[in-house]
Amino acid sequence: MPGNRPHYGRWPQHDFPPFKKLRPQSVTSRI
């Protein structure tokens, strides 16, 4: 699903900046 890849790329940086600090491993695993 190419629609999910770009969405997740902008998701932690634009929508949830603090979420990346909470669980950086989870975000990287979902990408």
**Residue 25 reports pLDDT greater than 60:** yes
The first and second tokens of residue 17, run together, are 């900046």
Which ranges constitute the DSSP H helices of the chain? Answer: 4-10, 17-22, 24-30
Which pLDDT band, with edges at 50, 70 and 90, does 10 fall under?
low
* Separation of first and last alpha carbons in the chain: 11
Domains in the chain: how many in total? 1
> Which structural domain range is residue 4 located in?
1-31
Q: Chain-wide mean pLDDT for the chain?
A: 57
Local confidence band at 22 (pLDDT 50, 70, 90 cut-offs): low
Residue 13 carries which side chain, given as an amino acid letter? Q
- Whole-prediction pTM value? 0.15
